[in-house]
Amino acid sequence: MKILFVAPRFHTNQSTIVKTLINKGHRVYFHVSTIGPTEDYSNITPEIIEESILSIIRTKIFGDGGKNKKGYFPKIIKYYSVIKKISPDILIIRRHGRVFSYMATFYGRLCKAKIVFYDQIHSSYYLKNHSQINNYFKKIKLLFILKFFNAKWFTPLHNLNNNSNLPNRCYYLPFAVDIKVNDEIKINNPVRLLTVGKYYKRKNHNLLINALSQLNGDNDFHLTIVGEVSNENHDIFFSEIKDLVKSKQMNNKIDFITNVPFNKMKSIYKSNDLFILPATDEPASISILEAMGYGLPVICSDSCGTKNYIKNNYNGSIFESGNVDSLQKHISKYVNNFDLLIQQKKWISENINGLLSGENYYHYFKKMINI
């Protein structure tokens, strides 16, 4: 089948999914409005769709556009010809509320493609018995769109225990990452900690640094912070984080790496022992799943969208979001307990394929598409 993805950008969480679909014999295409500095094009090079002059004018008037914003849209006639030339069997569209998304949807229907919408929103927003009025109207809007376009919708964020509560036309498809678990399990001394994320406040680097500063002298560690610095706001926050590390006199325990291409992350994941994501209200962190793919136990907050991939005390643990004492307690549990790290690494190596492999994703994909 010919499968066309349409999204604001080619996020790293699509890399293994695209590779899996190609390996299963499908022809895969990817349309984006912009690109990022850390994307992986080893399996596919996304096509950047040219912005319409009308979209540019709209942005100048209303100031809410830009290539990664709701108001962006491509050249109307030209983009139809692009989709018609591909004539996809399946059109998978990220974020159904965008002009770009709706244009692709209309053109896809004209080409008789099956339409599938994809959001990194937890399925609890759309559960049948959800009582919150705001979420009720979100559910009604989504179901209307699905019926109007005869479409389906899926999310990678879902509590499997509630699978039966998903509305009709709505599905759970898990994330997929490359599985590179080491056969030999060993722990560095001191324990090597890793966090990955763009340098801005929601990622909560300061919370992690403050938590580490509270560890007693017996808790030896080294932290590597990997992050993207691609705009002025990133630069400002990056400087603030470096200043905080200096003020805590932790320069010898913490180092920084910026703008690492996706294909260079392998060696970084493999050289560390424990992954920590301190972010608050992180909608869908792929980094904790990539870390598990390399055999690392993970710590994340209870506001992280991908927390449902963590089985507490088996492949990681979950701390109270924004609570520095809770985070410090969870880190301390691991830092001087090599047996716990080894135990959880073993659990990950034995169970990761059934949780995050491309084969697991494709199992759910076939059920949704009916192939």
pLDDT category at 134 given cuts 50, 70, 90 is low
Q: Is it the case that residue 347 has pLDDT exceeding 70?
A: yes
Q: Any residues with CB less than 8 A from the CB of 358 and at least 6 apart, and which?
A: 16, 17, 19, 20, 23, 176
List, for residues 1-59, the tens digit of each pLDDT value.
Answer: 999 999 989 988 899 999 999 999 999 999 999 888 778 899 999 999 999 998 888 87
Q: Kindly tell me if the per-residue pLDDT of 277 is higher than 60.
A: yes
Question: Which residues contact residue 77 at a Cβ distance below 8 angstroms, ignoring those fewer than 6 apart?
Answer: none
The total number of structural domains in the chain stands at 2
Q: What angle do CA 308, 119, 367 make, to 5 degrees?
A: 75
Cα–Cα distance for residue pair 369/110, rounded to 1 Å: 19
Q: Is the pLDDT of residue 251 over 90?
A: yes
Of 184, 195, 224, 204, nearest in space to 298 by CA: 195
If asked whether residues 226 and 300 sit together in one domain, one would say yes
Backbone phi, psi, residue 276, to 5°? -130, 125
Indicate if 16 and 164 belong to the same structural domain. Answer: yes
CA–CA dist 59, 248 (Å, integer): 43
Residue 223's CATH number: 3.40.50.2000
Question: Residue 185: which residues within 8 A CB-CB, separation 6 or more?
Answer: 295, 342, 345, 346, 349
Does residue 210 share a domain with residue 131?
A: no
Position 274 in a domain: yes
Same domain, 229 and 305: yes
CA 150/CA 145 separation, integer angstroms: 8
For the chain, the average pLDDT equals 89
The pLDDT value given to residue 72: 85
* Beta strand 114-118 pairing with 316-319: unpaired
In a domain, 185, yes or no: no
More confident residue, 99 or 347: 347
* Residue type for position 72: Y
Pairing mode of beta strands 170-172, 191-196: unpaired
Q: Looking at residues 125-151, what average pLDDT do you find? A: 73
**Mean of pLDDT values over 151-159:** 87
Question: Do residue 222 and residue 254 come from a single domain?
Answer: yes
Number of H helices and E strands in the chain, helices first, is 13, 13
3-state secondary structure of 146: helix
CATH number at residue 28: 3.40.50
- Residues of 216-244 as b/e, b for ≥16 C-beta within 10 angstroms? eeebebbbbbbbbbeeeebeebbeebbeb
Q: Are residues 207 and 264 in the same domain?
A: yes
Within-domain flag for 182: no
Task: Give pTM, 2 decimals.
Answer: 0.87
Residues 35 and 157 in one domain: yes
- Domain match, 311 and 361 both: no
Measured CA distances, 316 to 196, 204, 246, 350, 355 (Å): 16, 19, 29, 14, 14
What's the domain range around 300? 191-351
Give per-residue pLDDT as tens, 59-89.
788 765 555 566 788 999 999 999 999 999 9
d(CA 277, CA 248): 20
